Structure 1
């Protein structure tokens, strides 16, 4: 996680260095860096929600996008169910393209922490100011939290309803029977201690 965030941080610095002269012209000067205005270039680096999005809408948009992503990745890779085999990269392309087409306009395609936080941190260091954190009613935390919950939920959904292999989730009582009625195999006898 740290390596991906650091990689995105450094890559956004390279993008800034490459386009600095164009950013200066677009923003209106070399010392002007804004967030959220018509002449703002901050959206190059990280994601900002559409102005009509509420805090709840922002969270659930990211949550649903990451839930779909994880659910469909499991479906692509589950060769015991149908899987995609050698077509997995093409299937993954269509999944990410579809998520971006459906949810990208609302929240800017932030479906993981590294893609948003690393560049956001770089833009803060480059002089965009406190606005990188406060824009969109302090939206910055949503891409940090929602994908973790969404991916966990997407994995649970796939395991619960489609996975056919052995798993603690798709057993009777969703694996909780071991806690309520521990079997002999799960309990430790006094002779083993």
Structure 2
């Protein structure tokens, strides 16, 4: 359910590019329907809290229930870096958890471990803007709120913040996965069979060189 993860998997050959549009479409649809479900379940609570005035900013703003918005002190450049870093950490950890040549998450426990990972990222990196770290999780509910009564303010708030959680996580995901690839995966030892083959080849080459040297010495 994360387009940043799907994009990173395509970039590094874990997922075919032709599947990316289907994955993103499913993620957008799922996020939009999830936002609609939350709105339906908490419709009366939301309207009771804000008095029927659906606002994006202010003391009784409720749009932040569905999408992310920056705190007043956060600039666009700082927020962009925040989202790149947060998503990079997500992908870096996900790559480690799925690496069968390292110490992956125990079989059957992956959903729990990933859920805890997202929770930890939220606790440690969520205070600036709510840690979107997922383009589809942010843009689809944002569109829903624009339709449901919050209006176009959802795109104007935070100095036009809406594009940051759409673009920055996509970049951060590729950077995080790439960092794990360069720092860890590329340094895994070769498979046992492949290593044996290389050793045998080097041994044969060495024997040939010794024979040539022996003939020349004679």
TM-score, normalised on structure 1? 0.80
Counterpart in the other structure of 2:120: 98
Deviations 1:112-159 (A, max 9, x none): 111111110000001111210011111110111111110100111111
Q: Secondary structure at the match of 2:100?
A: coil
Counterpart in the other structure of 1:71: 92
Which 5+ residue runs of structure 1 have no aligned equivalent?
167-193
Structure with greater proportional helix content: 2
Deviations 1:26-47 (A, max 9, x none): 1123xx2111111111111111
- More divergent stretch after superposition (144-153 vs 20-29): 20-29
Kindly state the Cα deviation for residue 89 of structure 1 after the two structures are TM-superposed: 3.3
Work out whether 1:50 is the aligned partner of 2:71: yes
Counterpart in the other structure of 2:54: 33
Kindly state the Cα deviation for residue 11 of structure 1 after the two structures are TM-superposed: 1.6
Deviations 1:52-82 (A, max 9, x none): 1111111111100100010111111112123
Cα distance in 1, alignment partners of residues 143 and 115 from structure 2:
27
Q: Is the CA contact 1:112–1:147 (under 8 Å) kept in the aligned structure 2?
A: yes
Residue 43 of structure 2: which of 20, 28, 33 is its match?
20
Cα distance in 1, alignment partners of residues 65 and 111 from structure 2:
26
Counterpart in the other structure of 1:111: 133
Residue 160 of structure 2: which of 138, 147, 160 is its match?
138
TM-score, normalised on structure 2? 0.71
Q: Secondary structure at the match of 1:40?
A: coil
Deviations 1:9-36 (A, max 9, x none): 112112112222222221123xx21111
- Structure with higher Rg: it is 2
Over the residues paired in the alignment, what is the CA RMSD in angstroms? Answer: 1.5
Q: Secondary structure at the match of 1:160?
A: helix
Cα distance in 1, alignment partners of residues 57 and 88 from structure 2:
28
Runs of 4+ in 1 over 6 A off after TM superposition: none
- Cα distance 1:120–1:162, how it changes in 2: closer, same or farther (>3 A)? same
